[in-house]
Structure 1
Amino acid sequence: MGKPQKNKSAEKQTTTDVTSDEASASTRLDASSRLDASSRLDASSDQDEAPTRTNIMAAINQLNQNVDSKFELLNASIAGLKQSLGEVEQRVISTEGGLNEHETQIKALDDQCSRWAEEARSLNGRVDDLEGMEKGNPTDFVSKCIPALLGEDNFDNKPVKVDRAHRVRVRAAATDGPPRQLIARIHHDSVKELILRLSSHKFPLQHEGARIFIFPDLGPAVMKQRQQFDNIRTRCRSAGVRCGFRHPATFVVSVGEDKRTFNNPKDAEKFLDDKQVSR
């Protein structure tokens, strides 16, 4: 009976030992499981941290790219503005040049207008100064005055045809002063020569108490040549000696039956001295 009990005790002991071993194994298993779980948790944590850094770097790179893109757009806009400003500057320079040219043209026009205004005032003065015997119509006056001075029968008792006539613009003469010059264009050249010839034969001429002189309208050079004989002509007229000019500037003088022509006033003066024409 005792022997079987011993076996039971041994069996219990064996069971206990197995159980202890199993418990120890279970403990080791649990510890291992906890270690594996902890390792997996740490690995999982490491795996979670790695994408975060990558994302940050990717975000930074993306930001840099965006900033670079913005700067490129800004630089392009600035370049466009510089080009536009350059075009505006060229337009301003061109406009200033045009304004300067316009100012020069306007000044030239102002000067021309001033000259025209002065000429207009002079012409108005001439119109206003058409006074005296011609009564504002010098053409009609000359047409009727010439036959009256030189003899109407010499012109077939008709007025002389005058294309135009006007007074020379000078200061108005006094009532008792010499008549002013009046220039007339005779329509027919033959009538003009007749007038000059008759005026020389009928010298001196008077019209309504005023002394009249008729002479051709000559150019400045011819007039200068004739003016050299002014003193000789005055001497001849004072002495009642007939004198005149043959075109263009040949001086003709007649003392009695002796008729001479001169181109030099000294020769004419010597001739008058020889003829004892008083001074």
Structure 2
Amino acid sequence: MAAAGDRMVESEDDLQDSRTSSLSDIPTAEVRETLRHLPTKRDLESLFSRFEAKFDAKFAELGADVRQLGGRVQDLEEDRDASLAHLDRLQAQINEQSRYVTDLRRSVDDLDNRGRRNNVRIRGVPESEDTEDIPLTLRTLFNALLERPPDTPILLDRAHRALRPRGAPSAPPRDIICRIHHFPLKEEIMQAARKKRSITHDGHAVEVYQDLSRFTLQARRHLKPITDVLRDRDIRYRWGYPFALTVRRDNQLMSIMEPGDVPEFIRALDLPQVEVANWHGGDLLDFPPPKPQRQKWQAVRKQKHRHPLRDEATDPGLHPSFGPARQDP
């Protein structure tokens, strides 16, 4: 054990001797020349000062670009806010004009239906190949409904087939439209037709309707899903003038006059959800999407930047490789 320790001491002594001999081989002048060319603290401070000046210039240029970009972004956001405000005004104006157009359309439709108050539409009367006597056919049909003699006079202002080309022989016959001169007589005929479960004329089943405008018929067709549900649940309804679908339940009158009334009507009657198209055009529930929200542009507070390399270089305690300041030899 002692011999091993002696050998280790001898090897360390040999290593120290070899280092001393290698350092003694370097000339003193060469060492001084090498140390003279090493950078000093002043050189490092000058170097980092130049770095700082370049960084400051770059940061200033970058800050100017950011401020310019921020100004442009702020201008764009202000233009966007102005455009949105203008769009809101236009949307409000369009909605107001849409209500005006709807009211005008309802008024025109009401006038059209009032002009048809004395009109009756008969469906199912076959068309003859020869010239047909439509007034005679209608007088016979109406007197049969009123349970009067067939030759009882009925004053008609006009009577004709629907104003469209005659269809193929296999196509259904065109409707007959007539205007009864006396309104009370027309109402008697309509009441008698409603009480009849089926109406026949010369062996053919016919139907008697109130003549209505095209817009009213279109709206009624769009509300057919709701009327089907009402019939399935034995809920009585009636059509009103101007156009309205009316139901009385629990001493409350509920009506559909506009497409927007459909959701509340369904909710009040506890009906299943059905798809009803907007007879004024477009989807029934077509709500605009919510507007995107954003934060206002805020300028970032300027902070003094710190150069870690410069601080480490100038402070000996921050970097372990730097010792105390030395002077040139």
Whether these two folds match at TM > 0.5 is no
TM-score, structure 2 as length reference: 0.32
Higher relative contact order (CA 8 A, sep 6+): 2
The structure with the greater share of residues assigned to helix is: 1
